[in-house]
Structure 1
Amino acid sequence: MTESRFARLRSIQSHAYEAAPAIRAQFDAAGLRPAQLGDAGDLARLPVFKKDAMIEQQRLAPPYGGFLAAPSAEIERIFVSPGPINEPQFRGEVDGLGFGAAFAAAGIDSSDVVLNTWSYHLVPAGLLLDEGLRSTGAAVIPAGTGGSEMQAKLIRDLGVTCICAATAYFVTLAETLEQAGHELPRDWRVKSALLGGEFGDWMGKRRRLEARYGLRTFSVYATADFGLIGFERDAQEGYEIHPDRIVQICDPVSGSPLPIGEPGEIVVTTLRPGWPLIRFGTGDVAMARALHDDGSVAHISMLQGRVGQSVKAREIFIYPRQLEDLAIAVPGIQRAQASISREGHRDCVTLRLALQDGIDPGSVTEPAQQKFRELSRLKADRVEITSSAELTAEAPLVRDLRQ
């Protein structure tokens, strides 16, 4: 797989170097040529290209910012995602840019009737899921967003077996049916649900929904820029990377690839000839869990947060998800926050905890410190117990107090 993927990458990028000025500029800035891409180490010589830069590129060189590497006659759809960013879809792309693989891995097939509640308006989500579902043989109800009462009725009337929805909207649909007098799971045929991800104890929430509603949940990691990037397989937590995506987990500042288990920005290179984005920083944070022989990432964790939400202390980034996970993992903690200050020439980390009523601070201090170190690889310098009135739900999970 290593040789064939990077052989494909060299071919795609060699064409893009001639056809797409923005791609050529990335290579020229690094003093690199497409023929030199032999593995992930070579790829890392290219700078990470950020989404904000794409928005600016398209403003300066509309409509595609110099990234289009195919004749405009090959474009079948043009999506417009927030930014705005214009994203082409080409004729002959029939599995929803990889979503077909995700649904097949989840066991969706021609026996399924699927309610797709993701938007079909301008953004790619609804249509790409639709194409991926139809590639498995499933029948699709193109519901789009809104109208929960009507969509709840469709679940019953049309014998829906799978629901694709944001987690909160899935709950709304289920509760709408229950309020109408239906007893779930007895009164529906739903056996699976593709749910949109949430931070915090999302896996725990999924398990509770599965137990309550008698179904199996699954999720994907996808962006408007690439379509599908990763998908769940065999109930393993995290995402297996699609073969047509080359993923690296990188330091958000330097762009250098990070080792397994260290959180960093998800940087994606695609094997898609017409829209050949290379070393594109998604802004999402995860950890690598396994690597291919070529050094690229084979499997990533669930998302940890966004790059802009992180704070660097003692050369290690602290992410909001780590504080959410800490509060979930240590009994008695209501909320947690990490505050970073400077004492002399050293970064100091204070772990601030708001406790549940009646909890002895002495019972949580050491477990909280241990869990924080496990999650972040940093040792907290001190632990401060505070009130929930001071450490409110709206307070930032990570604060940088350095001047």
Structure 2
Amino acid sequence: MADTTAAARVESIGADFFDDPHAHYRRWRATGPVHRVRFPDDVVRWVVVGYAEARLALADPRLSKDIATATAILHDKRRTIPTDPNAVALLTHMLSTDPPGHTRLRKLVNKAFTTRQVAALRPRIEQITEELLDAMAGADDVDLMEAFANPLPVTVICELLGVPFDDRDDFQAWTRALVGVVGEEEHRPAAAAAMAKYLSELVRAKQTKPADDLLSELVLADDDGDRLTDPELVAMAFLLLVAGHETTVNLIGNGVNALLRSPDQWQALCADPAGVPAAIEEFLRFDGPVDMATVRYTAEPIALGGTEIPAGEIVYVALAAANRDPARFTDPDALAVDGHPTGHLAFGHGIHFCVGAPLARLEAEIAFTALLRRFPGLRLAESATTVRWQTSTLIRGLLELPVRVR
């Protein structure tokens, strides 16, 4: 029998949510794995917080990812907020597409973005890492986000895609407005227009003069005569540029923050750096870079965890909540770098599993191994007693992380 109490009760996301979403998730999970939640834009959405239900939802085709329909549903619920065509165009990529369109797009991307290409990036990532750590070595205190966690992935994705590094401040500012940061809504249309124009010009440049980079490979990708259209190239460039740096920036930042608040585990990794790959999986589980997965909607009624969700409802899968579900993980609110966690959902699950996961893992492995080796005495600065988080339900990331280098 369907649970009617979840449908009647409405939780809410206020300003305190972003400092500690896990406290909210624990409270919500105590009364069930699926909840109606009022977001800061005053629209009520459904949020899945249980691990088993999240895993099912991520792979259920009845929860559609078609961005055009999802946007129309949100527009109808908001009523006063107009639909931004530039934002919709940027989001029409494989992460926001159902089969067979998704299958086609992913196949073309896989032709250009291979495991072998990712592995070949190791020497360059190691070089960038050492250069950033050399710069840190001359300081007493640094903001680790500004000095290391941010520039490493941004440099890598710019070089990989063929995006000028000097443009990073612009596209990161546009990204902030576009990833659901509370308080940035009024800037979203201008950011979407600027990002769309920038990427359109970049795609045209690669079409005119292809280079040795991933975006040029995408321009040239061919599957028996099937190629990405110009709008698809722009949307794909947006996905890879934004996801390609935001995920790893916050994997590094969140992981270092968690480690430095558990000094015994920092020391354990310093003593045994071979444990870094397993520790990265724990960072992803404990405080991963994505809080709630991107938007889905019910194409037909669906029951999750005994709760009936009607058709035409917006649904978010809270990956951060699922990864701390005590029904799946032992002592989930404790960091355990030697716990060898398996089955976390930080990169999603099913056909929309993150295509950039191997690159994020490689960058994080190199970053943590080098950081532990170079600065075994690294510790939080006094000003890091409390930290500020991005006010986003999509991105889970720090605004700054002050640390003492020596």
TM-score > 0.5 by shorter chain? no
TM-score scaled to structure 2, two decimals? 0.25
Structure with the larger helix share? 2
Q: Which has the higher contact order (CA 8 A, sep 6+)?
A: 2
TM-score scaled to structure 1, two decimals? 0.25
Structure with the larger strand share? 1
